[in-house]
Structures are given as C-alpha cells and as structure tokens.
Chain A
Amino acid sequence: MRKYLYIFKYTFINELSYFSKVVFRVISYFLHIFVFYCVWDYVYDGTNKIGGFTINQMMWYLIIAELFMMGVSRVARERPIEEIKSGSIAYIMTKPYSYIGYIFTTYLAEGLIRLMIMIPISIIFGFIFVGPLETFQIKYSLIMIISFILAYSINGLIQILISLFAFFMEDAGPLHWLYNKLLLIFGVFFPIDMMPGVLQSILKYTPAYVITYGPTKLIVNFNLVDATYILMAQVIYLAIVLVLVNLVYRRGVKKLNVNGG
C-alpha cells in the first residue's frame, strides 16, 4: 500500500506545479456554465419546473455535473494508450506494483488536486448564477461524498478499461469520445428525468446513471430511496468494471509485442 501512497504524493506535488493550467481550466468551466445558464434561462422563461427541476436545481445540477467532467484527470484516458502504443508499458510492468494500480492512483491524485480547487469555485459560480441551492440537505453529506467518490472511481476504471483496448486496436482514443459524449448528454446537459420514459429506463443501466446523474441528483434533490438505488448500482458497477479491467489487462498483455532498443 505504501508504494501507492508514494505515487499519490509524487503526482499530487507534480500537479501543483502546473497551477496556471488550473486557472485556465476554471475560465473554461465558467464559460461552459455561462453558456448553459443563458440557454436554460431562456428555456425556463415562463416555466417553473421542467422534469421536476426548478431553474435553481437545474443550474446547480449542471454546475456539479460539469465540475465532475472538468475536474476529472485525463491520465486514465491518455497514458495507457500512449504507453501501449510506444511500448513503454513494458518498462512499468517490471516495477513492483500493478500497472492498473499505478494508473488508478495517479488518476486519483491528479483528480484530488483539481477538485480541491474546483469545488470552492463551483460553489461560488452557483451562488453567482442562481443563489444557494434551495433543496440541499446537509445532514446527508456523508452519503453524497461516498457516492461522489464511488462515481469518480468507476469513471477512472472505465476510462482505463477503454484505454486498454489499445492492446487490440491501433487507436482506442475515439472510443473515449463516445464515452464522454454519453456522460455529457445524458448525465450533464440533461438529467435523466428529462428524457422520454423508455429512454429513462435504458439510461439507468448506463455509466451516466452511476457517474454523473446519480451523485449529482443526490446533492441537488436528496431522497433515501434514490440514494439506496444509486449506491447499490454504483457498488455493482464498481465490481463489474474491476473484474473487466483485470480480465482485459491480462488478455492484452499476452498480445503485447515490444521491440527492444
């Protein structure tokens, strides 16, 4: 475990040194929120609730879900593909730690520093655009945090899983575009509740439900029944993705062909 703590610490310090990049990420985040505020403000004109969400809840939903997308580290979607393509994965495989563990720990450390900066900023943005979240229930904060951590972990593992397809195909990058768009459209831009009935029941089985929609819904509009469903779904998802990541990694490593130099 100590070796993973060292990787975590090293990545955390390294990420701190690129502070200017964080500033520009914040500007980009603000722009996204601003554009969506304008669009939703227009859509809500003369309407009190859409899909059970008031404009206040909708904007907070968007700010929190977008925070997740902006705060997430890119290491799990980029590094395995680069290392498999270049063959440098062979060098890391000789180290006394698991490759998946190494990427996942780096992903967590980078995400932590990003979120530490982005969370207070997202709260400020929320207050600027629509004021305090009227339906926030602080007594359930612990459940919300657990759900958020589970979502972040599932997302990292799914990204690693997709990246590991680089063992079998030349370029796994385009698969990440589709995965990200799934999260954006069905988990960030629109809560699942706004989708037509048939689509809603299908979307509850997709990563968008456990990664973006679920934890954000708990923060914006908490209820115990939803919380139970979402947490259960997250634990099941986590277990399945963990098994799949290890399976694909073991199969992929057998196909790995590296020329020495």
Chain B
Amino acid sequence: MLTEVRSNLRYILLSIKYNVQREMLNRASFLMNVLLMMLNNCSIVVQWLVFFSLKPDFGGYTFEDQMLAVALCTVTYGMVYLFFAGVDNIAKYIEQGALDKYLTKPKSPLIGVLTSKTQISALGDLLFGIIIFFIYYHNPVQFLLFLICSFFSFLIMLSFFIIVNSITFWFIRFSDTKQTFTDSYISFSLYPYTVFGNFVTILMHTIIPVGFAIYLPVTLFQDFSITKLLILIGFAVFNMILAVFLFNRGLKRYTSSSMAVVNV
C-alpha cells in the first residue's frame, strides 16, 4: 500500500517536472505568461479597493479578509492548474472516447489524465496569491495556517472539478454543463458569502463547495477553532475519496472510440 502511494507520488512529481520543463523551453513566453497573469490578477485588488471605498465593511468582512479570500482562491487555482490542468480534459476525453491512452499505462488512469497537462500561467496565480497574503498578513503562525488551508482548499477544488467532469460518464454531452459549475466555483469564491442570501450560502456548502474551500478558512483566520479546522480537513479528504470513487466507478461505463494512441 505504502509502496504504491510512494510510486504514484513519484509518478506525479515526475510528470509535473517534465510538463513544467517543456513549458519553460521558450523562456520569453514562459515569463510573459507568468508576469502578465500576475498583473491581470491585480485587477481583482483594484475591484475590491473600489468596493471598500464605497462601503467599508461587507457583513463582517474587512478588506484584509477579502484579500485573504482572493489569496486562497488564486493559490488553490494556481496549484490545480499548474499541477493537474488535465482535469479540464476529463469530460472531453470521455465524450470523445479518448481515454484509451491512459488505460494502457500501469498507473492510475485518473493520475495519468490529471498530470497530462500544465497551464503555466497558473504559476502567476500561485505567486500572486502568496504575494497578496504576505502584503496583508505577516505572522509566521498565520502563514502556517495559510499553507494548511491552501492545501485542503486545493484538494476540495481539485476533487470538485474531478466530480463534475466525471458526471460525463453518466450524462452524455455534460462538458458544457461542467463548465458552468467550474465557472460558478471561481465566481462565488471571489466574493464574501455575507452578501449572498441564505439559499446561496446553503448552495455554497453543498453543491458548489466554495463554503468549505474559501469561506471556512477565512473564518478560521477571523476566529480560530480546532473544530472548524477538522471540518475543513475532513470535508477535503471525504471529497477526494468521493472524486476518485466516482471516476473509477464511471470508468466501468466508458466506451472507447478506438482512438488508441499510446504514449510511451
């Protein structure tokens, strides 16, 4: 069991390393993607500067709280798309019957698809989130908490994206619908839950788990409690197990289109 975990971890790390190395072949393009993405994200800060100049408090959310939410969102997005950008292709591959090349490998097909691609601009998101965090929070303990929250928020985001993509195994042509789910996840995570009504808040803690991935970590910074931290960890682990289970269960329904392209 432990050997298998270590072997899979090594496979993931090697895939990520080669993906990033491939993207870095063109240094100018690499730097431009990263730097311009960071500049692009500055617009989120401008947006909130304007909003907070109009209203100093958003239902208990200060500007620092909102920047923490932005940092968490960009860091987790950056981690998902820098390491596992292939998650976006799952639905497309299922629809096209093009998963064959991952089924022929000795490793898990899910890991194969997830690590098949990297989005280098996501490094810009990741760095931007870390910089934003350090601008507003300077305490090392807070940074440790940020690292823990970021990791589990990343697990929640990744597992949510795997789940919505895997639904394509049961519902044909779900790839457009899954885009709506992933867009909603990003949209809602960049705004404080206090501006939404009860219905949306419930939605964000059930169907679209932004409540656990972003809102809960922010409340941990506002008022730390070990129970909340355990809820975050428990939810992230449960969601990841569910995602892997759904993908593997769905794989039994998969029909190939005979597009057998084997990458050696």
Task: Give chain A's interface residues, CB within 8 Å of chain B.
Answer: 20-21, 23-24, 27-28, 31-32, 35, 38-39, 41-43, 50, 169-171, 173-175, 177-178, 181, 184-185, 189-190, 194-195
Contact = CB atoms under 8 A, between A and B. Distances in A.
Interface in B44-90: 46-47, 50-51, 54-55, 58-59
A185 B46 contact: yes
Given A24-B176, A39-B195, A171-B29, A181 B54 contact: no
A21 B176 contact: yes
B197 A174 contact: no
B51 A24 contact: no
A173 B33 CA distance: 8
Contact of B184 (A31, A175, A177, A190): A31
B40 interface: yes
13 contacts: A31-B184, A32-B187, A38-B195, A38-B200, A43-B54, A43-B55, A50-B54, A171-B33, A174-B40, A177-B37, A178-B40, A181-B43, A190-B47
B180 A174 contact: no
Given A27-B180, A35-B188, A38-B191, 18 more contacts: A21-B176, A24-B176, A24-B177, A31-B183, A32-B187, A35-B191, A38-B196, A39-B51, A39-B191, A50-B54, A170-B26, A174-B32, A174-B40, A177-B37, A178-B40, A184-B43, A185-B43, A194-B50
A190 B50 contact: yes
A198 to B, nearest CB: 14
A42 B55 contact: yes
Nearest to A194: B50
A42 B61 CA distance: 12
Closest 10 CB pairs of A and B: A174-B36, A170-B29, A181-B43, A42-B195, A24-B176, A177-B40, A171-B29, A38-B195, A185-B43, A43-B55
Give the dominant DSSP class at A's interface.
Answer: helix
Interface in B142-187: 173, 176-177, 179-180, 183-184, 187
A177 B36 CA distance: 8
Interface in B1-47: 26, 28-29, 32-33, 36-37, 39-40, 43, 46-47
A181 B40 contact: yes
Contacts of B28: 169-170
B195 A185 contact: no
B239 interface: no
B121 interface: yes
Contacts of A175: 36
A21 B33 CA distance: 28
A39 B33 CA distance: 31
A232 B28 CA distance: 39
Contacts of B184: 31
A121 B42 CA distance: 31
A28 B183 contact: yes
Interface in B184-231: 184, 187-188, 191, 194-197, 200
A181 B38 CA distance: 12
B165 to A, nearest CB: 15
Nearest to A184: B43
B187 A35 contact: yes
A21 B180 CA distance: 11
Contacts of B176: 20-21, 23-24
A20 B183 contact: no
A229 to B, nearest CB: 24
Nearest to B39: A178
B145 to A, nearest CB: 27
Contact of B121 (A41, A170, A174, A190): A174
A43 B36 contact: no
A170 B30 CA distance: 10
Contacts of A195: 50
Contacts of A190: 47, 50
Given A31-B187, A42-B59, A185-B43, A171 B32 contact: yes
A174 B123 CA distance: 13
Given A38-B195, A43-B51, A181-B43, A169 B32 contact: yes
B197 A38 contact: yes
Contacts of A170: 26, 28-29
A42 B197 CA distance: 11
Nearest to A20: B176
A43 B191 CA distance: 13
Contacts of B54: 43, 50, 194
A38 B190 CA distance: 13
A38 B191 CA distance: 10
